Chains A and B, each alone.
Chain A
């Protein structure tokens, strides 16, 4: 604890000291620099990852996550400055930089407006910048256009990317590169979100109207992030329109949403709400059926307030609140209630020290709560589960010259977890975890010449419970050949101090637990090789292969019947795993028809003692049999995604998606037996199966086609967007799992299927401009 306290005090020093090595290569006195924000001309929103280039010098860069760019060590002279961003008109201007000048140049890009005669979807250079190793991005426009089950959904859109898998149609959980959902760090405006789901996992919590940017690091993520073994999904809320007030409302079958944004003095605001609208359907069902929930809804609220204090300081305050409520009385003497959700708030200060030094400071607070209650036959069960995560982050980016982009930062916080179970009025299980965590990173992106880009860095993590200190070296290299071919390699070490207790079919009771004394944090190494190229103008081809290890995995023991009275370490099983695969993404970026074909070939393995054991293993009394490696259920050998967008006219746009995947892994039942003298039950037979290797069999292949048509128009002076969708167009009855009924003899085996064909309609109204 003492060392951690010291470590907290050392952070400011580390922050400053880590940038000192770059000072000897300060900019030359006669050189010039150019920096500023790139914004949307209509709304004033800053644009993340926009591309900026000085044509004559072959120098370029991209904006950071706050929309800021810097070009340093420029020779004085005249240049053509070109700026591009997907969905916006390319911008160029002539500029002249005088000796020693450091110019601040904020640029506004005009959104691309498509007319009937001019239907062109431009290919833009910033897409190349988004091809960093392990990186993927999905635009909010794509999220809204992709066919989605009832409601546009961020996670379900991400599930269409190669390397990302869905456990089932009922789950929006992200299974990335062989990792379980808890191996992906999910950030909303830099704040950790612990249970990003609604309707027990069916939808993700992020309202597409409130989102500006979604970026996914599938693997090999840089030192600025940490805390998860696999991936990072970073989502940014919109800042709000700085030029005019705008409102939008969408009416859907499952949920409706509304948002308003507009200017305030020196800033902007954004406020968005989304609520499920199942009440009429539930009311109609209740009239004819018993056992329909008396209350069942989810609600999201997002907001953001931005204020600029001068040209070099920006403040923002963002919040999110989401909750699910269900009240389900079943029968006369039983009721189930569940109330769970997330709340996040973050205060952000961006400060530009000078043209070479950019900083960002954030205070975040995240809360996850989960309150299930049952009352059955006069016997109550109640759980109070809360997570509070209060943290501070500071990042400094320093560009001493055109060859280096150095950055360093800290992230420190206090994580509090509380759970209290009560059964029949008595406390049965309680746990309180109050841990301090802290991390510091330093990284430098070095471009020795036009061909090479090298990124090296180190992240140091500490976690107070168990007094863990972990080092994470990260390296990546990129070699550009023939201006079209990028060869990439990356290595990274990652640690994870948290584990998620969940069920693939139901995320409403999710719990997070942490490492502790005797429970080492999980760690893993990732190795990635990539090849990105533009084989033909307007097309893109990305290939990435990965291999990753997972060590000291800790998970809730799935056979644990009751946690009461157990030592904390006894809740877990400890294991290991690995994953490897190859991802191919072939994109068509230009023309009326755009889209991509994604293919993933992958393996993922896990091993836990006493699980998937060899029945022939002889054991001494009390000894646990060693486990054998097995593929978890979300292991897919082949996964193919085809997404096509066709712009029919200025009013009509069509989107189709087809997904094919190897059938899910399952465990085949081989034999059966019965205990006939069971002293704890009165069934004639207490049945059980003998099974083969865990998940060594495959269900039939999964495939599904979805279709979406969008028509834009106007109604009562408002812009409208009508969206018609059909999910599972040819009604493929994909199998989720097999169910067994021992009441029948022979035992009856039935397939539990996933979603049938589902049509959906929604309409969006936008206030006139």
Chain B
């Protein structure tokens, strides 16, 4: 017992406690502090003119967000078309500030399928911003789209896309449904039931949000390629938020948009990450945040009718 007591000598206890305290006090993993960053936003669409580039800055998370006040002015913006190896700058598209934070190309240049583009932004208050995208190959909707469809009937809309197989891996799609008449009385039953009608403002906001209904990212592996090598997509009824005229727009997105959308969609939960384990969105922007992405897309229009009554 005396020997045991010796082990519990106050000096030894003090030394052990001091070592523990020292170890505990020196936690090397400390949180960062807020740093203002440049936010870039530009979406290149195959065949369209070069898009505007929107520049702004981040604000502190808990501050009132005012997009106009955060616009980044007086930046020097340019987009380079690169060679296949992404080594040589082949041609330059210069931009001018049209309105606060919105920069427009000074010349008309259409986005070329399969091309690589480099964005550069220079501003005296920030380090040089750069981002690169490889534009997906173009595609078209090949099949004829019915003028009208009966909601939840056995005849589902099918899209046949001429999309080429991706060189590395597979294509990633986002399909959006844009309602031409986003009225409350035209909501399909599922969306109607969950419309936030607690007040007019909330209702209007909710209706606006449902105007464009997005599938999220869909791998090409979800779809089949037919004998002609075209991709066949069966369009789910879940995507229809409003009866009436709808535009259905499938897009093949580039790697930048794929990374941005997939990480942004789980930033506040929804995956295997624990609640509160928030991650930065994956951004292609060096020296800033945001997106410089590209896509190929086509549009099909149809009218969705409810099963019970004929739509006027």
Contacts and interface: CB of A to CB of B under 8 A. Distances in A.
A552 interface: no
Interface in A647-679: 664, 666-677, 679
A57 interface: no
Nearest to B207: A682
B32 interface: yes
Given A377-B188, A484-B4, A680-B176, A671 B58 contact: yes
B146 to A, nearest CB: 17
A712 interface: no
Nearest to A424: B236
B275 A736 contact: yes
Nearest to A612: B279
Contacts of B60: 670-672
A130 to B, nearest CB: 20
Nearest to A621: B132
A746 interface: yes
Nearest to A509: B272
Contacts, number: 269
Nearest to A669: B61
B295 A679 contact: yes
Given A562-B217, A675-B290, A482 B237 contact: no
Interface stretch (A239-247, A515-523, A626-634): A626-634
Nearest to B264: A688
A15 interface: no
A481 B152 CA distance: 78
A697 interface: yes
A426 B289 contact: no
B234 interface: yes
Contact of A559 (B152, B221, B282): B282
A633 B280 CA distance: 16
A591 to B, nearest CB: 19
Interface stretch (A36-44, A47-55, A116-124, A329-337): A329-337
Contact of B220 (A565, A570, A668): A565
B236 A379 contact: yes
A690 B65 CA distance: 14
Interface residues of A, number: 100
A333 B222 contact: no
A692 B29 CA distance: 11
Given A631-B29, A668-B31, A679 B43 contact: yes
Interface stretch (A261-269, A319-327, A500-508): A500-508
Nearest to B257: A680
Interface string B69-96: 0100000000000000010000000000
A426 B234 contact: yes
A204 to B, nearest CB: 19
Contacts of A681: 209, 212, 214
A752 interface: yes
Contacts of A666: 276-278
Interface residues on B, range: 35 or more
Interface stretch (A142-150, A389-397, A737-745): A737-745
B8 to A, nearest CB: 7
Contacts of B4: 482, 484-485, 533, 535
Contact of B275 (A423, A566, A737): A737
Interface string B272-301: 111111111110101001110001000000
Contacts of A699: 276
B160 to A, nearest CB: 15
Contacts of A622: 255
A503 B269 CA distance: 10
Contact of B65 (A562, A610, A685): A685
Interface string B190-228: 110110000000000100111110101111111000000
Contacts of B266: 558-559
A216 B133 CA distance: 53
Given A378-B152, A426-B234, A558-B273, A745 B65 contact: yes
Contacts of A426: 222, 234
Contact of A564 (B219, B236, B264): B219
A745 B64 contact: yes
A136 interface: no
Contacts of B205: 743
B35 to A, nearest CB: 8
Nearest to B20: A601
A559 B262 contact: yes
Nearest to A535: B4
B216 A561 contact: yes
Contacts of A610: 282
Which among A559, A611, A739, A747 has the greatest number of chain B C-beta atoms within 10 A?
A: A559
Contacts of B284: 621
Contacts of A428: 221-222
Nearest to A531: B7
Contacts of B282: 559, 610
B67 interface: yes
Interface string A420-464: 000111101100000000000000000000000000000000000
A176 to B, nearest CB: 17
A638 B210 CA distance: 47
Given A424-B156, A671-B36, 9 more contacts: A622-B255, A673-B39, A673-B57, A675-B290, A675-B291, A679-B176, A680-B212, A696-B29, A696-B31
Closest 3 CB pairs of A and B: A565-B221, A737-B276, A564-B221
13 contacts: A331-B190, A377-B237, A559-B259, A559-B282, A564-B219, A619-B286, A632-B274, A666-B278, A672-B65, A676-B54, A685-B65, A691-B280, A693-B32
